[in-house]
Amino acid sequence: MSKKLKIKVCGMKFAANRSEVEKLDIDLLGFIFYAPSKRFIGELPEMSLFDTEKPKVGVFVDENVFEILGVAKNLGFEYIQLHGKENPKTCAILKKQGLKVIKAFNVNETFNFATTKPFEKVADYFLFDTKTEVPGGSGQKFNWQVLNKYRGETPFFLSGGIELEDASAIKKIKHEKLAGVDLNSGFEESAGVKNVEKLKEFIKRVRM
């Protein structure tokens, strides 16, 4: 692959684990601000959890935009990932405040990529995740062949059940807008605790 894929490790929950993960050749660290998630940072997270030099992504689901802005400012987030039914106006407000926006879409065999069109100018990246009953973290893959139907201009992250063994298949995806991969449950010891060796091996394989 000619370009270097961005690696986003999402669902960071513990400061000690985060400090191990950030030593790897990764680009973004994701923190989930959605209470029903098993990887929710908690009502009173350790503030040292966010003490990293890596760019941080705050992941929200249908949250009030002013709440999001407050969190981003207080904790120094550069990216906001919107994983619910947020509209383009919400994305535009966040972008105007200098934040980079990742808009997630839940994809299955019948997903209509025209759904992404209204977000073209207001999202820096899209994230294509597996459509499930609840947002994110399902550990399930969708059929990556459907990505061929995406003709938009916005680069995207691939998400949904990615595991170590998927590195070679990901390298074979030739879509010019594939910008990176989102790694989460497939690289965990338990919810929110990443297996650093597995991550290291995946990164090595996907960037060979």
Using the predicted structure, report yes or no on whether residue 65 has a pLDDT greater than 90: yes
Least Cα distance to 31 among 75, 63, 65 occurs for 75
Q: Measured between alpha carbons, how far is 134 from 125 in angstroms, rounded to an integer?
A: 22
pLDDT at 140: 83
Per-residue pLDDT of 142-170, as tens digits, reads: 999 999 999 999 999 999 999 999 999 99
Residue 156 contacts residue 176 (beta carbons within 8 Å): no
Residue 82 contacts residue 67 (beta carbons within 8 Å): no
Tokens representing residue 25 in the block? 């050749």
DSSP class of residue 6?
E
**pLDDT band at residue 1, thresholds of 50, 70 and 90?**
very low
Using the predicted structure, report yes or no on whether residue 39 has a pLDDT greater than 90: yes
Mention every residue, 6+ apart, whose C-beta is less than 8 A from residue 130: 106, 107, 108, 138, 140, 141, 142, 159, 160, 161
Per-residue pLDDT of 123-138, as tens digits, reads: 999 999 998 766 655 6
Mean residue pLDDT of the chain comes to 94
Per-residue pLDDT of 84-120, as tens digits, reads: 999 999 999 999 999 999 999 999 999 999 999 999 9
pLDDT at 2: 47
- In this structure, of 20-24, 29-33, 73-77, 128-132, the range with the lowest mean pLDDT score is 128-132
Tokens representing residue 158 in the block? 């691939």
Q: What percent of the chain has pLDDT over 90?
A: 92
Please, what are the domains in the chain? Answer: 6-206 (3.20.20.70)
Tokens representing residue 18 in the block? 């985060």
Residue 79 contacts residue 28 (beta carbons within 8 Å): yes
| pTM of the predicted model over 0.75 | yes
pLDDT at 198: 98
